[in-house]
Structure 1
Amino acid sequence: MTADYWIVGARVVDGTGQDPAEGVAIHVVDGRIADLGQAPPDAETLDAGGLTITPGLIDAHVHFGLSSEITPSLRRELSVAELAADMFANCSSTLDAGFTTVRDTGGIDAGLARAVASGKVRGPRILQCGPVQCQTGGHGHLAAEWEPTSDWGDHAIPGLRAMSLLSDGPAEMRKNIRETFRLGADFIKMCVTGGVVSTHDKLSDTQFTVEEIAVAVEEASARGTYVTVHAHNNAGIRNAVLAGVKCVEHGSEIDEETAALMAQHGVAHVPTLAVVHALLEDAAAAGLPPEIRDRIGPALDGQVAGLRASRAAGVRVGSGSDLIGPAQGLRGKELTLRSEVETPMLALESATRVNADILGVGEETGTIEVGKLADLTAWATDPLADPTAFGDPDQVILVVQAGALVKDVRP
């Protein structure tokens, strides 16, 4: 398409929560939405008749650096070329599933994000945190028990993958946060509780002190950005909120009291249902041991309860898939699962407008409004009527990213 064209004939769901509009044409000029209305008779048009257009989806919790089988990739059983190829393929399939923006919450560094931004690799716009910040033996420290802690840093592949940095104490934390920003991070991700995919901890463990977390928040604030935290239990979440973080990932124990504290401090919540469903179905497919299953049930039930508690308290609730391993093609299933807990419209808003706000890009994308980037996804089936469409990449007929037509499978 040229730099000036109209998309016509579609049903438009703008991501603001308003009712869908029939037959509204979208005028795209130089990558942005210039007008919403009716195309002039002499305009260049793209026929989207019969399709439903939503804003381009946003996944607020991805792990492109974990696109290969986890255990073999960490044991150097896969070449750097294979690791990179899996990451590139994952980027492409994410775009094909209708996601035009993602937030990578640990596993890549700025190299992959820049490769995609330059056009060398096909994929969504990427915001990334570089290596996750974790304590020795905490969630994110995935070394085998026999491996010396001093060797963990050797797992990084500069310019491609950066798994985690280990900090013990405020001074070491400050140094590692500054190093993470030097490597090009857009924000900071910390692990403040144990996790499901963990080697040395339990879900009930709290990790990092309030003082250590506060150092990361101070350094991020000095850069004009924020800290988000991997957190399951309420004690860890409360520590993080009191230290000044802006977002909680997972939140599988969030109760009424914790949700109220989060709302009071303006802390967002990004549930991640798709990953626990995927691991319940087949943990081995991600290259993980079967005993991981023992942690999954409580994490799944808790996240649904935590989501409801956050909603009731007025917390901003985003959307993330958290898929790991090679099977990340059904990223949109997160919205299907969310639609079973709440309405499809709320699920869509979480994965568009709300996620854009959480990521700090709400002025540029997340809704179909004049002045914003033309990030659009067109569906063969209306996903508000049939939310299973969200999880089926074959239902994604058109993807427009900043005005560029990056997927078009119209008959």
Structure 2
Amino acid sequence: MGRLQVVGAVVADGTGRDPIDVDVTVEDGRIIQLGASDDEPGERLDAGGLTMTPGLIDAHVHLGLSSPIQPQFSFQISAAEIAADIFATAGAALDAGFTTVRDTGGIDGGVVTTIAKGKVRGPRVLSCGPVQCQIGGHGYYGADWEPTELWSGHHLPGLCALSMMSGNADELRGNVREAFRRGASFLKLCVTGGVVSAHDRLTDTQFTVEEIAVAVQEAAARGTYVTVHAHNNEGIRNAVEAGARCVEHGTDLDEPTATLMAMRGVALVPTFAVVERLLHDSAEAGLGESVRDRVLGVRERMTEALAAAKEAGVRIGLGSDLIGPAQARRGKELSLRAALETPMEALVAATRTNADILGLSGQVGVITPGAQADLVLWNGNPLEDPELFSDPTNAVLVIQAGQIVKDLR
């Protein structure tokens, strides 16, 4: 891998500082210098008129839910087609400018390693493996008539494992150990009901503090952490008390709970894009109209939760949570967040802050010497027009670990 010098771009480095005109020199997959180089420049890439950002990070993806949801859950789609859909979604993430993603439930380690080996196009993937849920809780999508013990038959080893169910703390301990055996790098628990659920309500809490703490203990033993799917405050507080380090969604987060999260260093990853998609067309994801009814009002409440979290000083990342086949416009999450905050705040959430939440601080998410050379060159300036983030064709050039993986110039 030789040296590459990207010249002429306006660079927004992911830290929140004002963009500057600066050359970026890359060698052996890493950024080695900002500014003009006196050394032999190697390959020179003219990026005049383009805006450079770090490779984007989506902290809440579901590669394993890339097929129409209900047909997948009811065994109407072959393993080959599910695999094809997963890998198509992975390639689309890269094309949208996302060079790193955190999969929050649905894939086994085989997907991670297949992408990492370069056998299919895709971002760097950190995965929790199967979601951990309580019996009949959010994450369980079987038919009403289906015996609980048959749910694991939906798993496709090495490819897709949607969730593992536990009836008590001992079962949960065994299941999280199994998730780590399958390649998980962190854990995700569902501690409240969810939108895409058939057996609970958003106001339900799931798992006890003592049960959540078991998963936290097992994660800590491996030097990693637990994040939780949570919509209501009681579930969030249970998770924080148990030692979870991150909250997904946080729809009804109030000021006292946000303050508690900030005090304990617990991050929040709101997810607006999936709400927008399900309100617009739940059938497109392969879901029934009842899901749309469940999501009504979530966008407004999540907006209030975002404001409460900001006021309390919570670290706030960014995640799309897109499900089903329509995952090509992943950058819509940045456009939606830019409208609620500023375009720069949305970019920082999707780069430096997400890298911090994922445990990759300084390695990705910033344009600085020593960081991985994950870079996106945008047609125009998405900090002036954040809708540019929504259209993958505006990401005209994507560099991942120093390699050009997309080039529309």
Query: How high is the TM-score relative to the length of structure 1?
Result: 0.98
Within-5 A mapping of 1:340-379: 340-379=339-378
| 2:240 counterpart of 1:279 | no
Offset from partner CA, 1:363-400 (integer Å, 9 cap, x none): 31110000000000110010000000010101011100
Q: Which residue of 1 aligns with 2:267?
A: 268
Query: What is the identity, as a one-letter code, of the residue corresponding to 2:291?
Result: I
1:168 is displaced (CA, Å) by 1.4
1:300 is displaced (CA, Å) by 1.3
Query: What is the identity, as a one-letter code, of the residue corresponding to 2:36?
Result: Q
Query: What is the identity, as a one-letter code, of the residue corresponding to 1:350?
Result: A
Query: What is the identity, as a one-letter code, of the residue corresponding to 1:397?
Result: V
1:3 is displaced (CA, Å) by 1.7
Tell me which of 32, 35, 38 is aligned to 1:34.
32
Query: What is the identity, as a one-letter code, of the residue corresponding to 1:371?
Result: G
Query: What is the identity, as a one-letter code, of the residue corresponding to 2:28?
Result: D
SS of 1:308's partner is: helix
- Would you say how many aligned residue pairs link Structure 1 and Structure 2? 408
| 2:155 counterpart of 1:137 | no
Distance in 1 separating the partners of 2:39 and 2:258: 52
Q: Which residue of 2 aligns with 1:191?
A: 190
Distance in 1 separating the partners of 2:39 and 2:204: 64
SS of 2:324's partner is: coil
Change (3 A) 1:306 1:408: same
Offset from partner CA, 1:331-368 (integer Å, 9 cap, x none): 00000000110000000000000000000011311100
| 2:307 counterpart of 1:308 | yes
| 2:404 counterpart of 1:405 | yes
Distance in 2 separating the partners of 1:230 and 1:367: 27
Offset from partner CA, 1:14-60 (integer Å, 9 cap, x none): 000100002x1000010000000014485231111110000000000
Which stretches of structure 1, 4 residues or longer, exceed 6 Å deviation after superposition? none
Distance in 1 separating the partners of 2:372 and 2:101: 15
Q: Is the 8 A contact 1:191 1:231 kept in 2?
A: yes
Distance in 1 separating the partners of 2:264 and 2:39: 51
Q: Which residue of 1 aligns with 2:206?
A: 207
1:297 is displaced (CA, Å) by 2.1
Q: Which residue of 1 aligns with 2:147?
A: 148
Q: Which residue of 2 aligns with 1:66?
A: 65
Q: Which residue of 2 aligns with 1:88?
A: 87
Query: What is the identity, as a one-letter code, of the residue corresponding to 1:177?
Result: V
Change (3 A) 1:256 1:41: same
Offset from partner CA, 1:88-115 (integer Å, 9 cap, x none): 1100010000000000000001110100
Distance in 2 separating the partners of 1:238 and 1:37: 47
Query: What is the identity, as a one-letter code, of the residue corresponding to 1:360?
Result: G
Distance in 2 separating the partners of 1:42 and 1:183: 45
Identical columns (%): 61
Within-5 A mapping of 1:14-53: 14-22=13-21, 24-40=22-38, 43=41, 44-53=43-52
SS of 1:322's partner is: coil
Distance in 2 separating the partners of 1:141 and 1:47: 50
Query: What is the identity, as a one-letter code, of the residue corresponding to 2:174?
Result: K
Q: Which residue of 2 aligns with 1:97?
A: 96
Distance in 1 separating the partners of 2:376 and 2:72: 33
Distance in 1 separating the partners of 2:348 and 2:308: 18
Offset from partner CA, 1:117-153 (integer Å, 9 cap, x none): 0000100000000000000110000001011111000
Within-5 A mapping of 1:196-235: 196-235=195-234
SS of 1:89's partner is: helix
Distance in 2 separating the partners of 1:356 and 1:77: 37
Distance in 1 separating the partners of 2:4 and 2:279: 45
| 2:323 counterpart of 1:324 | yes
SS of 1:19's partner is: coil
Offset from partner CA, 1:297-324 (integer Å, 9 cap, x none): 2221111111111111010000000000
Within-5 A mapping of 1:289-300: 289-300=288-299
Distance in 2 separating the partners of 1:211 and 1:47: 57
Distance in 1 separating the partners of 2:408 and 2:104: 31
| 2:226 counterpart of 1:255 | no
Q: Is the 8 A contact 1:8 1:39 kept in 2?
A: no
Q: Which residue of 1 aligns with 2:166?
A: 167
Distance in 1 separating the partners of 2:252 and 2:94: 32
Query: What is the identity, as a one-letter code, of the residue corresponding to 1:182?
Result: R
Query: What is the identity, as a one-letter code, of the residue corresponding to 2:254?
Result: D
Query: What is the identity, as a one-letter code, of the residue corresponding to 1:8?
Result: V
Distance in 1 separating the partners of 2:132 and 2:52: 38
What runs of 5+ residues in structure 1 fail to find an aligned partner? none
Q: Is the 8 A contact 1:399 1:405 kept in 2?
A: yes
What runs of 5+ residues in structure 2 fail to find an aligned partner? none
Distance in 2 separating the partners of 1:13 and 1:46: 18
SS of 2:290's partner is: helix
Q: Is the 8 A contact 1:187 1:220 kept in 2?
A: yes
SS of 1:377's partner is: strand
SS of 2:58's partner is: strand
Distance in 2 separating the partners of 1:396 and 1:183: 34
1:280 is displaced (CA, Å) by 0.3
